[in-house]
Every structure is written in C-alpha cells, then in structure tokens.
C-alpha cells in the first residue's frame, strides 16, 4: 500500500532519480537537487532540435553545434550558410532558420539572457507553447507543464481518456497541469517525458515496471496499448519533380542554395523544377548531354511523398552557371532528400 501523502509526482520523481536518461544537455537529478541548473542556451537548443526529432538523432547534432558555437553570442555571429550546412540531415529546416533568428534576438537585444517565463519566451522566433514550457521548467525550474506526444500518451492511459487526439489535447493538458508537483519542476518535466519515452511507449508499454502502474486506469482494463486514440489521417499526396546533377570532369558538382522561404529553405541542393502533383517533363537548366538515372529518388515529408527523376551530365571543367556554384561534394552539407538524389547517380561520371 502506498502512503496517501505520497503523490504521483513524488513517485515519478523517485523513479526519475534512479532512471533518468543521460543526455549531453541535461543536469543529473542529484546535481539539480543540489542547486545546479543547466545552461539555458543548451536547453533551448536541445528543445528546438527535439521538435519532431528523436533523442537518438539529436545527440550528435547537439554536441556538434555547441562544440562549434559554445554560446548564444557565437551562434548569433555565425554565417547562415554554415549553420544550415551543420543542420543538414536533421530535417524541418525552418527550425534552423528560427534558431539563428532567435540567437540574434537573445544576443543582440537581450544581452544573451533568455527570458524565464513562458509568455516572454513565446515572443522569440521558433518558440511555441510546448517549447516555452519546456525551457521555463527545465532551464529555470519554473512551474510549467510540458505536453509533448509522450506526455499526451501517459495522461491518456493513466486517466483512461478515450476521446481521440487532437480533440482531446486540451483535456490532456489540463490533466497534466493537475499533476504538477510543488517543487522540482524541471526534473518532473523531464521525468514524465522519460516515462513516456522509455516505459509508457506507443507499442508494448512496460506496465510491469511503470511507477504509475498502481493507479493507471488503462492498465487496469488491459487497454493501455490502445490509447491514445487518434483520428484517422488522410493519405499523403504525392508530388513529382526532377533534379539535375551536373558534374565537372574534375569531380566538382553544381549546387544551388534554395530560397530562404519554403521547404528546405536556405539549404544547398541540386538544380531542379518545382515539385507538383502531376508528372511533367522538366526543362534542364542548361544544355548538356543529360541522361536519366535508372531509379528515381523517393522521400517522404510531413505532408507529402516526393518522387524525383534524376538527370545527370558531365560538363567541362571550365563550365560555369549563373545560378549555382561548382564545388567539391560534401554529402553532410546536403539535406537527406538531396543525398538520396546523389545515390541515384551512376558512378560513370
């Protein structure tokens, strides 16, 4: 039997003290209890990177970024193209553009100091309700309730919320707020996210080892794996396009920087046409002996599937193009879809 004076928050924090995941931006629970707080710059950067991206993917990017730009002032002074290249492969590239905008506001207008409350944080580029709550709680130990997919899942199962997402989001938010502790807000925010990520997982939740198993209504009914319910998603449409890969005989390739606004804004990529819902014959950017690769490149974005024909050609070493630049290929500087295009180019050239 559990002591009636022990709250769910107490139980979760005790579990977190023993089971907290180690992350390069995180302060260990015992250190936080001793009064050590994380660097707000680190918390902010990690939370921006973690938007719609897994911890496993973010770890290396975070280490790379803080190693190259150790303070918000360093990032604010960075060359845009360098930051976009370092972000390549992480996806959702508007986050990288907002990262730079936010860093410059904090460095140039706020003397390098991040705001401590949610309302002020949300005035900064790229920071919405979830991210502001996470930064306020984790970086400054403010009483703020985070609601990401992990927390939504935990709340829906524990309280047996059968209404599908996204309609149930505000109800789940209210339940999350009700469960906040009286102290250790940063640890609690990370604890409940860890619970959802490692124990109360989307498939096959580990209810046997869950610290909240005793009061979980979904577990009691054997329906934990069925929650939260979600409205059926409409099928994603497919768009089509063509990329043109031009290579000099010496090995340099032609790359263009995409416009700042729009999908993959500010990123390097191959010249090509607009992505449309009907297949069309694209016009090459210049005359050359273009050949078509045997396989198209396929990629899936949040809202649509993309299928790209790949045309390639070898041009003289003195060939120039007004809208692009020939340079040595560095795949790490390209977004994932552009890397896939390159993989379709035969080794002929």
Q: Which of 47, 118, 152, 296 is catalytic?
A: 47
Say if residue 56's pLDDT is above 80.
yes
> What does the block give as tokens for 299?
């990629």
If you compute the radius of gyration of the chain from its CA atoms, what whole number of angstroms results? Answer: 24
Please answer whether residues 95 and 126 qualify as being in contact, where contact means their C-beta atoms are separated by less than 8 angstroms: yes
Per-residue pLDDT, 144: 96
Give CA–CA dist 264/243, Å, rounded.
14
Per-residue pLDDT, 92: 86
Common-topology check for domains 8-226 and 238-343 = no
Task: Confirm whether 47 is a catalytic residue.
Answer: yes
CA proximity to 188, closest of 132, 152, 145: 145
% pLDDT > 70, the chain: 98
More confident residue, 322 or 247: 247
pLDDT tens for each residue of 141-185 = 999 999 999 999 999 999 999 999 999 999 999 999 999 999 999
Say if residue 40's pLDDT is above 60.
yes
Quote the mean pLDDT of the chain: 93
pLDDT tens for each residue of 250-277 = 889 999 998 888 888 888 999 999 999 9
Determine whether 161 is exposed, middle or buried from the number of CB atoms within 10 Å of its CB (0-12, 13-18, 19+).
Answer: buried
Instruction: Write down the CATH superfamily of domain 238-343.
Output: Nucleoside Triphosphate Pyrophosphohydrolase (3.90.79.10)
pLDDT band at 91 (very low <50, low <70, confident <90, very high): confident
pLDDT band at 349 (very low <50, low <70, confident <90, very high): very low
Instruction: Write down the CATH superfamily of domain 8-226.
Output: Hypothetical protein; domain 2 (1.10.340.30)
Please answer whether residues 160 and 221 qualify as being in contact, where contact means their C-beta atoms are separated by less than 8 angstroms: yes
Residue at token pair 């039997």 = 1
CB atoms within 10 A of CB 15: 18
Q: Domain segments of the chain: what residues?
A: 8-226, 238-343
Range with lowest mean pLDDT among 19-23, 27-31, 257-261: 257-261
Per-residue pLDDT, 1: 45
Give CA–CA dist 67/74, Å, rounded.
10
């Amino acid at each position: 039997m559990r002591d009636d004076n022990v709250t769910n928050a107490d139980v979760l924090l005790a579990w977190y003290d023993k089971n907290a995941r180690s992350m390069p931006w995180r302060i260990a629970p015992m250190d936080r209890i001793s009064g050590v707080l994380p660097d707000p710059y680190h918390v902010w950067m990690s939370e921006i990177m973690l938007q719609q991206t897994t911890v496993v993917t973010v770890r290396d990017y975070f280490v790379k970024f803080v190693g190259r730009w150790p303070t918000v002032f360093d990032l604010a002074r960075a060359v845009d193209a360098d930051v976009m290249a370092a972000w390549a492969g992480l996806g959702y590239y508007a986050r990288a553009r907002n990262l730079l905008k936010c860093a410059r506001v904090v460095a140039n207008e706020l003397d390098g100091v991040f705001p401590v409350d949610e309302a002020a944080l949300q005035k900064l580029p790229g920071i919405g309700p979830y991210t502001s709550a996470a930064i306020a709680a984790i970086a400054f130990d403010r009483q703020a309730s985070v609601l990401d997919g992990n927390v939504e899942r935990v709340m829906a199962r524990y309280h047996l919320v059968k209404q599908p997402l996204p309609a149930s989001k505000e109800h789940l938010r209210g339940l999350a707020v009700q469960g906040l502790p009286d102290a250790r807000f940063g640890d609690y925010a990370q604890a409940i996210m860890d619970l959802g990520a490692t124990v109360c997982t989307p498939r096959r939740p580990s209810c046997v080892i869950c610290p909240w198993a005793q009061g979980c209504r979904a577990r009691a009914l054997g329906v934990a794996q069925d929650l939260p319910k979600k409205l059926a998603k409409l099928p994603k449409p497919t768009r089509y396009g063509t990329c043109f890969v031009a290579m000099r005989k010496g090995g340099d390739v032609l790359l263009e920087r995409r416009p700042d606004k729009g999908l993959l804004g500010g990123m390097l990529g191959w010249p090509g046409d607009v992505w449309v819902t009907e297949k069309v014959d694209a016009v090459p950017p210049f005359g050359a002996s273009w050949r078509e690769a045997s396989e198209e490149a396929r990629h899936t974005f949040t809202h649509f599937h993309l299928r790209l024909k790949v045309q390639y050609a070898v041009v003289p070493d003195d060939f120039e193009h007004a809208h692009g630049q020939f340079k040595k290929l560095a795949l790490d500087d390209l977004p994932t879809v552009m890397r896939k295009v390159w993989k379709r180019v035969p080794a002929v050239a």
